[in-house]
């Protein structure tokens, strides 16, 4: 009688020494240079797609921004979203699957990265926000110890003519998934599913990595570079607050893409498991107008980890460059579901305190945010605290204002979540 061979489950040997081989390397898109325009957005035209091999956890887009504007009349000013809104309408679509990143602006990509960085917990007393507040040389015993910083910098506030930025660096993360300390596998109806050991219990998992091989999918980032001088603060990092007379201008962008993941293997036990849920970061614009109360629906479907609304009024500021709504005028901020049950019932100081304690910094101007993934009493990230829009109806943000925003005001609503997909 032949004894049947017992197969090792998928992922059983993942992360064990000698089995899983991790890798960080440049993608096919390296040193891609684009010439930018003075007053119009410039589409990024990738000369190739991402590599169709191995397993990816996330991508990193390294940017070097350069532009110069000389003017004889007028005034330039930095946007509160600078430098990250130099990237407009960023998107990464996985052909035949879903879109893990789909945002209004690079500023949304950066904000997600600020509170949910891929390499760290994103929950500590002093957060290094996008490589711009590293330990200064003066804090070392000898100021000659630290090397020069090349991965980030504080953007100069000087905007006199000629306004020049030379090789300004920043890095945006494009996640394919997220690491959870406690991941509960759920069916679409919200019922609990057993893990790989056959137990209904949480596991530590990356949900879910992207297998790049075995197909002919064309995957590449899509976005526009902002104009060197944008029409208003939400469309680019530099705007004219008084009519500008330009005498000379130039600009270019350099982009390098990198991937972080593991090498492929013929043994599925050595590779990370894939779940019926995939990670997504998205933002979209929703008009709110001149109101004193507004309900903003969550239009994404899945397990919501975090949601925010950033309120912008294009009519504010000189020369109609726009500006953010003063959150001190928000008297009530709620995250509601079902029959208007409150998940969070806040005023602004309460909202700020909670976020500050989780992440060590304050949200951007004009922003209310709720982080459900971090909303526990420990630093463990768990989807047990997510708001599931597939099993809860009427999920929305409710805001009340003591002073109505302008008629053209809108909210950029950002949502971090797991979306249901079919395992490939």
CA distance 261 to 82: 30
pLDDT of residue 124: 57
- Domain assignment of residue 12, yes or no: no
> Residue 157 has which token pair?
């506030």
CA distance 210 to 275: 11
Cβ atoms of 57 and 205 within 8 Å: the answer is no
Print burial letters for 353-388: b (CB count within 10 Å at least 16), e (below 16).
ebbeebbbeebbebbbbbbbbbbeeeebbbbebbbb
pLDDT of residue 129: 78
> Residue 278 has which token pair?
């995939």
Q: List CB contacts of 243: < 8 A, sequence separation 6 or more.
A: 73, 74, 319
- Domain assignment of residue 337, yes or no: yes
CA distance 75 to 4: 78
The total of structural domains in the chain comes to: 1
- Domain assignment of residue 306, yes or no: yes
pLDDT of residue 153: 84
- Domain assignment of residue 26, yes or no: yes
Mean pLDDT in each 10-residue stretch from start to end of the chain (424 residues)? Answer: 57 83 93 96 95 93 96 95 96 84 97 92 64 81 87 87 94 95 92 86 91 78 97 94 94 97 88 92 97 97 97 89 95 97 97 91 95 80 94 96 96 97 66
> Residue 47 has which token pair?
């000369």
- Domain assignment of residue 413, yes or no: yes
- Domain assignment of residue 62, yes or no: yes
CA distance 82 to 227: 12
> Residue 225 has which token pair?
């570079």
Cis omega (within 30 of 0) on the bond before 162? yes
Cβ atoms of 281 and 91 within 8 Å: the answer is no
pLDDT of residue 169: 94
**Residue 252 lies in domain:** 22-420
pLDDT of residue 140: 87
- Domain assignment of residue 28, yes or no: yes
- Domain assignment of residue 5, yes or no: no
pLDDT of residue 149: 84
Write out the H or E segment, with its range, that includes residue 248.
strand 238-262
């Amino acid at each position: 009688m032949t004894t049947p061979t017992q197969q090792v489950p998928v992922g059983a040997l993942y992360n064990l020494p000698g089995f899983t081989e991790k890798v960080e390397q440049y993608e096919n898109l390296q040193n891609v240079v684009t010439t930018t325009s003075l007053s119009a957005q410039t589409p990024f035209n990738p000369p190739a797609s991402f590599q169709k091999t191995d397993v990816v956890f996330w991508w990193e887009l390294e940017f070097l921004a350069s532009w110069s504007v000389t003017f004889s009349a007028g005034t330039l000013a930095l946007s509160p979203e600078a430098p990250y809104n130099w990237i407009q309408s960023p998107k990464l679509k996985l052909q035949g699957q879903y879109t893990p990143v789909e945002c209004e602006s690079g500023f949304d990509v950066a904000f997600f990265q600020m509170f949910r960085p891929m390499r760290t917990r994103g929950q500590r007393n002093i957060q290094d926000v996008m490589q711009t507040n590293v330990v200064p040389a003066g804090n070392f015993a000898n100021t000659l110890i630290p090397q020069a910083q090349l991965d980030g910098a504080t953007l100069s506030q000087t905007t006199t003519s000629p306004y020049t930025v030379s090789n300004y660096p920043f890095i945006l993360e494009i996640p394919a998934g997220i690491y959870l300390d406690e991941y509960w596998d759920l069916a679409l109806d919200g019922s609990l599913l057993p893990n790989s050991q056959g137990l209904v219990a949480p596991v530590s998992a990356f949900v879910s990595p992207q297998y790049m091989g075995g197909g002919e999918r064309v995957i590449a980032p899509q976005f526009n570079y902002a104009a060197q001088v944008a029409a208003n603060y939400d469309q680019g990092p530099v705007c004219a607050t008084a009519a500008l007379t330009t005498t000379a201008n130039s600009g270019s962008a350099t982009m390098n893409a990198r991937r972080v993941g593991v090498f492929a293997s013929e043994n599925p036990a050595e590779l990370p498991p894939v779940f019926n849920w995939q990670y997504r970061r998205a933002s979209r614009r929703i008009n709110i107008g001149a109101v004193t109360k507004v309900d903003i629906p969550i239009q994404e479907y899945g397990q919501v980890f975090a949601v925010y609304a950033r309120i912008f009024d294009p009519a504010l500021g000189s020369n109609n460059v726009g500006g953010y709504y003063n959150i001190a005028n928000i008297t009530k901020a709620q995250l509601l579901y079902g029959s208007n049950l409150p998940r969070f019932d806040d005023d602004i100081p309460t909202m700020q305190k909670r976020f500050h304690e989780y992440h060590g910094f304050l949200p951007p101007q004009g922003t209310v945010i709720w982080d459900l993934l971090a909303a526990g009493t420990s630093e463990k990230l768990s989807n047990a605290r997510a708001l599931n829009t597939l099993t809860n109806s009427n999920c929305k943000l409710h805001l009340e204002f003591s002073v109505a925003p302008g008629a053209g005001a809108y909210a950029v609503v950002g949502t971090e979540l797991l979306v249901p997909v079919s395992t490939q």
